[in-house]
Amino acid sequence: MESVRMGELVVSATDGDELVAIGLGSCIGLAMVDTQAGVAGLAHVVLPESGSAGGPPGKFADTAVPELLAQLERAGAVRRRLAAVLIGGARMFAIGASLDIGARNAAAVREQLGRLGIHVHAEETGGNRGRTARIVLGSDVSSQLAGGERTSLLSLAGRTGAITGAVRGLAGAR
Amino acid sequence: MYNDMQLDALRELANIASGTAATSLSQMLGREVDLQVPRALALPLADAVDAAGDPSETVTGVALPLEGDLEGIVLLLISDEGAAILCRLLGVEPGSDVAESALGEIGNILGASYLAALGSMTGLNLLPSPPTVLTDLLGAIVATVLAQTAGDCDFAFVLDSELDVAGEPCAISFLLLPAGGGADELLTPLGLAGTTA
pLDDT tens-digit map of B29-85: 999 999 999 999 999 999 999 999 999 999 999 999 998 999 999 999 999 999 999
Are B88 and B94 spatial neighbours (Cβ–Cβ below 8 Å)?
A: yes
The partner residues of B72 in beta bridges, in order of sequence, read: B178
Which residues lie below 8 Å from residue A31, measured CB to CB, with a gap of 6+?
A19, A40, A41, A42, A84, A85, A87, A133, A135, A141, A154
| CA B149 and chain centroid, separation | 13
Neighboring chain A residues of B142 at a CB cutoff of 8 Å: 23
| Residue A117 Rama label (left phi>0; alpha psi -120 to 50; beta) | left
> How large is the average pLDDT for residues A1-19?
96
Residue B61 is part of a domain; what is its CATH number?
A: 3.40.1550.10
Q: For chain B, give the percent of residues with pLDDT over 90.
A: 80
A166 pLDDT tier (thresholds 50, 70, 90): very low
Residue B12 belongs to some domain of the structure: yes
How far is residue B132's CA from residue B60's CA, in Å, rounded to a whole number? 10
Cβ within 8 Å, pair B45-A6: yes
pLDDT at A158: 65
Residue B197 belongs to some domain of the structure: no
Q: How many helices (H) and strands (E) does chain A have?
A: 3, 10
Predicted confidence (pLDDT) per residue in A58-83, tens digit: 999 999 999 999 999 999 999 999 99
pLDDT at B195: 53
Q: Which residues of A are catalytic?
A: 27
Number of domains in chain B: 1
Q: Which residue from B minimizes the CA distance to A58? A: B46
B49, B134, B153 ranked by CB distance to A92: nearest: B134
Cβ within 8 Å, pair A27-B46: no
B50, B141, B153 ranked by CB distance to A92: nearest: B141
**Residue B42: closest CA among B155, B150, B144:** B155
Neighboring chain B residues of A89 at a CB cutoff of 8 Å: none
Residue B137 domain boundaries: 4-190
pLDDT at A106 over 50: yes
Residue B92 belongs to some domain of the structure: yes
Indicate the domain borders of chain A. 2-173
pLDDT at A161: 44
A61 Cβ under 8 Å from any chain B Cβ:
no
Other C-beta atoms lying within 10 Å of the C-beta of residue A70: 12
CATH topology of domain A2-173: 60s Ribosomal Protein L30; Chain: A; (3.30.1330)
A51 pLDDT tier (thresholds 50, 70, 90): confident
A7, A90, A128 ranked by CB distance to B45: nearest: A7
